[in-house]
Structure 1
């Protein structure tokens, strides 16, 4: 145990944390109290209450559960889940392995837990609950905070064309999401063709490793957390269906490709065609077709018989390819079926996809051989 004078008069003493960094006076007081309560921190095992919902969270829960089963670092593990009406992968995992669960909102304050862990929970935690944990609460967030605060950081990183992202362990704060001090981070590149499901799986694994590393370095690591740089903040708001509509007049081919990568398995990309919203699947960057179309506006559509794909001109003069389409009331069809059913043999001069139903103007039908 630490001497009483050390707690009363911390300024008399100059010492390092176990990481070798000097602590400020305020942090010294916190550090002393935590270490006084957990003097054998390196061999200490912790009681953790886990808050989570989706597959991203399950990866972290599984990592904690493995440590709990090995009786190393974690001596108690329970979970908080959202109501059963909401799909919850964490709840399924907890039921499968007989982990005790609590339903949100909690009926009483958590007790006999050292730390709260939040991963993809989607609910603000009240101050009273955060303060009920001696070590507070931490959150695993799928971005390099303060970049991409919010509900959909992985999606927005891809849509924005970022080449790098990562995972952040951050102290949980009440009233606002993702504003707490940064405890630890790990960076990773975003591959040029990587989609949301692929990147989400990778970041979930990185996040689970980072969480376990944080737990194993408690309590010292909490005292070394650093504030976020406010000037670097960007936001990743919740996704909504309207985001899937392609703006042909503003988006380059790469913009559209990135939008599909970021929304894959969330919303298919959509566009207007003859006053209907149609869905486009399997979009890729495409080589410029051999025919010359300098005067055709963005959204101009041709069918390539050789590639068996629809080719669509974009704002920057580059092209994307589309292999499958859904028209309202019809099943998914390939590019040839769409061409035969909706383009070939018509009297109009052109076929264009449009950003807005009021902009529908078509001029010619082309077929590349």
Structure 2
């Protein structure tokens, strides 16, 4: 069962979407928020709600937002605002766009002139240089979806799933002016990984979990800073960003590891008859499904890893992975063509029902050049 935060009863909004939090003896915080995507948005929503306390003790007095410039999203060529910016505009929050041409903000003439009590950073994607922190009286805090110092880097959720971890978590840390993800830990809470969960689903859960952690940290900021813990660099591990290379199917990995970590992210790619094929829609198989297919076709040890066959009844490909495990594939994309159903793929190659074929592992350069 997924672990719920200890502080959920304190932070759960009422039907009016308001909180009753306050920082006793302190004025509400002026917050400068740095974010981009839906993970960021979960925190921004709670911060905005925390400024509308019905009992007159808001935790947040004022919010302004820093986010990337508009960009093409969801396959559209037209530039669109990122999720954080859309929310800010709907609620009348002042927005500062980062310059689209800059890969680093080191040379950015930061336009924020007002002073703020604290900066809140969630899934922002840019390093905050010292000149961007000078107007923040209490510095800046960041929510990272791992139990730091484990999985420092931009893809901690993917790596937790790739490694088969049973538990992950969130950390709220101070922003360090010299490096990503190395600041002192203000709050940390573990979170159980549900069996069979996909990467995007876990990301959504940790976004909500971490957002509540940010509110908890702000509500106790002075004491949290006083008790902050320095990270142990000796136990640190890295979680670099996944690329299409990481989506290349390893025939030596169990089906559940491939599915958990790469579905809904960079994808999984294979090779068939010298052509690159991206597996678009995949799922794990159940014991009942395995038993319902002809025993000779899936008998343990009867098919090597990479073997697949099309089953007409389910309109799907069965793909043998390591450890006597199987994936079901229902949609594929070949060499930049349109996404098609498994039936279309098999018809194109004139594959018969239950006919055995084989996918091969592909070279990363082939993926980058063809898909």
TM-score grouping bracket, smaller chain normalisation: 0.7 to 0.9
> Distance between the aligned counterparts of 1:41 and 1:133, measured in 2?
21
**Map 1:96-115 → 2, pairs under 5 A:** 96-104=90-98, 105-108=108-111, 110-115=113-118
8 A contact 1:299–1:352 mirrored in 2: yes
> Distance between the aligned counterparts of 1:293 and 1:339, measured in 2?
24
Deviation (angstroms), 1:65? 0.9
Q: 1:67 to 1:357 in 2, by over 3 A?
A: closer
Deviation (angstroms), 1:357? 6.5
Gaps of 5+ in 2: 1-22, 73-80, 99-107, 365-371
Deviation (angstroms), 1:343? 4.6
8 A contact 1:142–1:167 mirrored in 2: yes
1:312 aligns with 2:319: yes
> Distance between the aligned counterparts of 1:83 and 1:73, measured in 2?
29
> Distance between the aligned counterparts of 2:352 and 2:59, measured in 1?
70
The partner residue of 1:52 within 35, 50, 58 is: 35
The CA deviation string for residues 192-227 of structure 1, in whole angstroms up to 9 with x for no partner, is 111122112211111111111111112221111101
> Distance between the aligned counterparts of 1:294 and 1:77, measured in 2?
60
> TM-score w.r.t. structure 1 length?
0.77
Deviation (angstroms), 1:338? 2.7
8 A contact 2:249–2:361 mirrored in 1: yes
> Distance between the aligned counterparts of 2:182 and 2:363, measured in 1?
40
8 A contact 1:41–1:218 mirrored in 2: no
8 A contact 1:301–1:352 mirrored in 2: yes
1:140 aligns with 2:143: yes
Gaps of 5+ in 1: 1-39, 359-369
> Distance between the aligned counterparts of 2:64 and 2:147, measured in 1?
28
> Distance between the aligned counterparts of 1:339 and 1:242, measured in 2?
26
**Map 1:163-312 → 2, pairs under 5 A:** 163-248=166-251, 250-260=252-262, 263-264=263-264, 266-280=265-279, 281-285=281-285, 287=290, 290-291=295-296, 292=299, 294=301, 296-312=303-319
8 A contact 1:302–1:312 mirrored in 2: yes
Larger radius of gyration: 1
- 2:46 aligned partner: 63
The CA deviation string for residues 9-46 of structure 1, in whole angstroms up to 9 with x for no partner, is xxxxxxxxxxxxxxxxxxxxxxxxxxxxxxx9534211
Structure 1 window deviating more from structure 2 (315-324 vs 61-70): it is: 315-324
